Amino acid sequence: MTTKRPPTTLEKMGLNSPMALALHLPSRYEDETELFTIEEALGLGRFQSIQTQGVVIRNQVLFRPRRQLLVTIEDDTASLQLRFLNFYPSQQKQMAVGSHVRVRGEVREGYLGAEMVHPIVRAVTPDAPLSASLTPVYPASAGISQTIIRKAVLQALRDASLKESLAEFLPPKLMAEILPSNDWPPLQEAIVYLHQPPADANTQSLLERTHSAWRRVQFEELLAQQISLKRAHAIRRERRAPSFKKDQPKTKASKVSSSIEEGLLKVLPFQLTGAQTRVWSEIGLDLSNAFPMNRLLQGDVGSGKTVIAALAAARAMDHGYQAAIMAPTEILAEQHYLKMREWFEPLGVKIAWLSGSLKAKEKRLAQEMIGGGDAQLIIGTHALIQDKVSFAKLGLAVIDEQHRFGVRQRLEIQQRVGSELFYCHQLMMSATPIPRTLAMTYYADLDVSVIDELPPGRKPITTKVVKAARRDEVIGGLHDWLVKGLQAYWVCPLIEESEVLQLQTAVESFEQLTKALPDFKVGLVHGRLKSEEKATVMAAFKANEIQLLVATTVIEVGVDVPNAALMVIEHAERFGYAQIHQLRGRVGRGSADSVCILMYAEPLSLAAKERLQTLRETSDGFVIAERDLSLRGPGELLGAKQSGDAMLRFVDLQRDAWLIELAQIAADRLLAEHGDLVERHLERWLGSRTEFLKA
């Protein structure tokens, strides 16, 4: 019996073939093509990596102020000190007195004069040749050295199989038509260049990834992604789904004479806005098709996405199918449950509630209702996609704040809900607007609807930025606010005191505000409270039994209290764009003028200063989403980080936006005219990762 060989460190990184190694491109480069005397290195200034060499004349370990290794080297021109705060005995031996070493690092002013701290050191002969090309520095995981990766990559580039893997098969005529001024190198030449750029290469364009070699790689990667998304879109249209046409005969699903949809429109205490009517028309048309809907509903905080989800659910139930609404947090899911119960119970609709915090007996009863078909509308958290949940006849899945679930979970509900004949319709909802470049790349297989109009009576929110030193003044203003009969939120970033981050905590703020505002009831809610306790506090706040709610970001989404018109966010500099935008959307839901105060502690970083300034100046979700994208990248906005796969490794959606449209055109042409090349291109660039792009 043969034992399976454990994977090497390279294999654990996914570098298990010559092709994988060839596409493991450098993140930066070091210049080992030039050598300076020590005197020249000292005169070149700071903040640049410089290479020099010399003989070791001193090697000593000091123990004050901390254990460190100090080595002095000299050449015919001057001497230079090397300082190592962390070191191994092998390094001491490498730099023994009398040995000749070549070092590279930044020269800076130390306690005893000019020095390099933790330079890269190599033992060499005085006349050792210089590198003929820039030295690549690769992304690496812990425990693997650059030397190992460089050797593996060089070996891969010499592998005979790589010539076929990187062969040119994109039709030259097509490339010339799409890229008329294309001066990009062939793919294999581009890959080799990026691994071994010559000494005279334009280092800046390599680092900024705007070099023609990078452009060739980026275009091909984008092309693979666009092909995959367009194919997923086409494959979905070949699947069967139940058709929910408005004018079809009604089933006996409802206990009232009219349809559930018509009944819902009658019980709603408001009229749909023009934008809601338009969006509902688009979704209604999708539901009437015999292939599954895959639509993203975008709308800023408070724009009225929930009622659209309710109408879609009503349409499905009218045709005898179940509808499910899934939300990422229990607070948001419960808000949906309470709202849907208010709208649907008078219409005779049976609703099931399922979350992880339910007791075993309650959970079992809910699962039986769902599996037996008694529950027409099912609302819950990710508990809806667990193994013990089996739907009787699910026709529609609504996934709120879809980016919070991660790609695998969205796939899971899609794969679980269909029978062997039918797939259910899917409606994803997001209050985080999707920047155009993100929509063109990661959401290209989705149909997108946007509610771009707030309900009537909603007033703009005034945002103020205030120093934490004015805390007492803010509390005084809060008192005057509560005297008017209005309610308020006070949001904190931490639950308990942290020694690392000395921030005001929710518990401490709760105690301070309770003492400062004795005439008002103050509540506290955070993620560590039990679900029942959270629900009790939230219900009391909604009923105005609590006037001030101190909370962590558990109230980021889903809380709807029209009388709460003031929000104070402590340590706002610690929050991201999207998070503050979501939190701010909890106010401004009633008729009163609403205010959001962003309270920050000094000193502020430049990034935090810009973030707070932007949030003060605009409430436009698309502007904020674009800034968020530039700051964090697409991973967190998509939920893709949870999948463990970065869909685009070499493309920056803002820097390379102009390439996206070219890749889309090329993808359409390849699919239409060169179907035989599509599989080869996908396999080269995505391999098994194409499955993630269908989410």
Convert the pLDDT of each residue in 550-561 to its tens digit: 988 766 545 678
Q: Which pLDDT score is estimated for 277?
A: 95
Cβ contacts of 200 within 8 Å, gap of 6 or more: none
Among candidate residues 552, 550, 574, 576, the one with its CA nearest the CA of residue 564: 550
Q: Taking the model in full, what pTM does it have?
A: 0.69
Per-residue confidence at 688, pLDDT binned at 50, 70, 90? very low
Per-residue confidence at 89, pLDDT binned at 50, 70, 90? confident
Cβ contacts of 403 within 8 Å, gap of 6 or more: 430, 432, 636, 637, 638, 639
Per-residue confidence at 444, pLDDT binned at 50, 70, 90? low
Find where tokens 């027409």 sit.
Answer: 376
What proportion of the chain, given as a percentage, has pLDDT over 90?
A: 36
Q: For all residues of the chain together, what is the average pLDDT?
A: 83
- Mean pLDDT lowest among 110-124, 137-151, 486-500, 576-590: 486-500
> Which string of DSSP letters, residue by residue, matches 317-381?
HHTT-EEEEE-SSHHHHHHHHHHHHHHHGGGT--EEEE-TTS-HHHHHHHHHHHHHT--SEEEES
Statement: residue 633 has pLDDT above 60: no
Mean pLDDT of 470-496: 88
Pairing relationship of beta strands 120-123 and 100-110 according to DSSP bridges: antiparallel
Domains in the chain, start-ordered, CATH in brackets?
Answer: 34-130 (2.40.50.140), 260-451 (3.40.50.300), 461-618 (3.40.50.300)
Looking at per-residue pLDDT, the higher value among 387 and 36 belongs to: 36
Q: Which pLDDT score is estimated for 369?
A: 92
Radius of gyration of the chain (CA): 31
Given a contact cutoff of 8 angstroms between Cβ atoms, the answer to whether 133 and 30 are in contact is no
Given a contact cutoff of 8 angstroms between Cβ atoms, the answer to whether 535 and 559 are in contact is no
Per-residue confidence at 415, pLDDT binned at 50, 70, 90? very low
Q: Which pLDDT score is estimated for 654?
A: 75
Looking at per-residue pLDDT, the higher value among 630 and 18 belongs to: 18
* Alpha helix (H) residue ranges in 79-123: 89-94
Q: Kindly compute the dihedral angle of the four CA atoms of residues 397, 399, 402, 408, in this order, to the nearest 10 degrees.
A: -50
What proportion of the chain, given as a percentage, has pLDDT over 70?
A: 85
CA separation for the pair 10, 189 (Å, rounded): 24
502: DSSP letter: -
Q: Which pLDDT score is estimated for 644?
A: 33
- 169-187 pLDDT per residue, tens: 888 888 888 887 778 999 9
CA separation for the pair 425, 447 (Å, rounded): 12
Looking at per-residue pLDDT, the higher value among 54 and 246 belongs to: 54
Mean pLDDT of 2-30: 83
Q: Which pLDDT score is estimated for 523?
A: 93
